[in-house]
Amino acid sequence: MRGVILVVGACLFVSLANAAEPGADWQRLVAAAKKEGKIVIGAPPGSDFRIETQAALKKRFDLDSEFVQAPGPSLMSKIVAEKQAGVATVDAFLIGPCTGNSLLKSDIYEPLAPAMILPEVKDPAKWFGGHLWADNISGKNLLYSFVAQMTPSIYYNTNLLKPQDVRSYNDLLDARWKGKIGLRDPRVPGGGLAMWAFLADTKGEEYIRKLAQQDMFVSRNARQIADALAKGSLAMTIGVGFRDFDAFLDANLPVKHLPTLKEGTYVSGGNGILGIVKGAPHPNAAKLFFNWLLSREGQELHNRAAQQPSRRLDVDAKGLDGQAAKDALTVEEFRRLQNFTEDKCNNSWIPGAKLAEAVLK
């Protein structure tokens, strides 16, 4: 009988030791990150997320943080150029959909699955749809996607258009809107290409060619398009995000997002594609940031500061600028409508960009 008790006790001891191990690993990581002293984070422009993150990392871990802020393509160009020169400065980064897709074979990303240390981050049951890797074809788990939102992609000037005037994407072809539509350039990654690719998949190439004949104002400068809408030079915009309209909405200018059209819309990954640079100058701090940002605490902060809803099921995403996919869709619908993983980039975004090159002058 004593032998049985000893065996059970030994098993219990092993079980408790294993249960404690993630905590020990985490504490070792925190200590190593503190020794490195800082982290450099690449992120989109905007002050709210930067300010709140810097404060949280300092308070929680006594870790200084520096932000390098630029649109995704510019940020990744900087990271690649630095890697080629052997002078990497960025540790971890947040980018938008498909921005990092063309770099998957360039050996600049650190595999992320081994970097998952916190149990709440490792657990796929915490996430709507389970773990979602943006590089879902390569299967190397290099880019993690934590945002899923139903994005308002068409905004309108309330003095020039009424919501009932445009209830289908077919209504964009109405002669009334010729020369009155602003389009974020779909020949480069971004909100314009995301919407363009969705329209090409949903409505077909013939529709796209007709839309291109509407003499749209096409620009890579989203704020320039938003400004033209607010001033009444345009009646509506396609592919310009809510962040670019913040100042105009705060000033009560005649700008609103158009209610979802009858054909529906896609699910965006926002700027919620997270990665770590291979050979990062502060590798432990990068892993700490990765785990913290995907924790409930980090996701609640990102929700609030970036106004982009988390896929974490224990994070309330109601009341944000973008509606959470988890609050509006089944998992099956989400998987069908999501527009930001490697397969979508290859099958929709790349062909969409090529079509845009052909039809936009």
Q: What DSSP string describes 203-264? A: H-HHHHHHHHTT--EEES-HHHHHHHHHTTS-SEEES--GGGGHHHHHTT-SEEEPPPPTT-
pLDDT band with cut points at 50, 70 and 90 for residue 22: low
Q: What is the pLDDT of residues 200-251, one digit of tens each?
A: 999 999 999 999 999 999 999 999 999 999 999 999 999 998 778 878 888 8
- Overall average pLDDT of the 167-188 stretch: 97
Residue 9 has pLDDT above 60, yes or no: no
Residue 289 has pLDDT above 70, yes or no: yes
- Overall average pLDDT of the 162-170 stretch: 96
Going along the chain from its start, the domains and CATH numbers come out as 21-149+269-328 (3.40.190.10), 152-265+348-359 (3.40.190.10)
Q: What is the pLDDT of residues 93-124, one digit of tens each?
A: 999 989 888 899 888 999 999 999 999 999 99
More confident call, 164 vs 138: 164
Q: What is the pLDDT of residues 290-335, one digit of tens each?
A: 999 999 999 999 999 999 999 999 999 998 877 899 999 999 999 9
Contacts (Cβ under 8 Å, ≥6 apart) of 167: 261, 262
CA of 255: how far to CAs of 155, 174, 194, in Å? 7, 21, 21
pLDDT at 246: 78
% pLDDT > 90, the chain: 79
Q: Is the dihedral of CA 170, 176, 178, 180 positive or negative?
A: negative
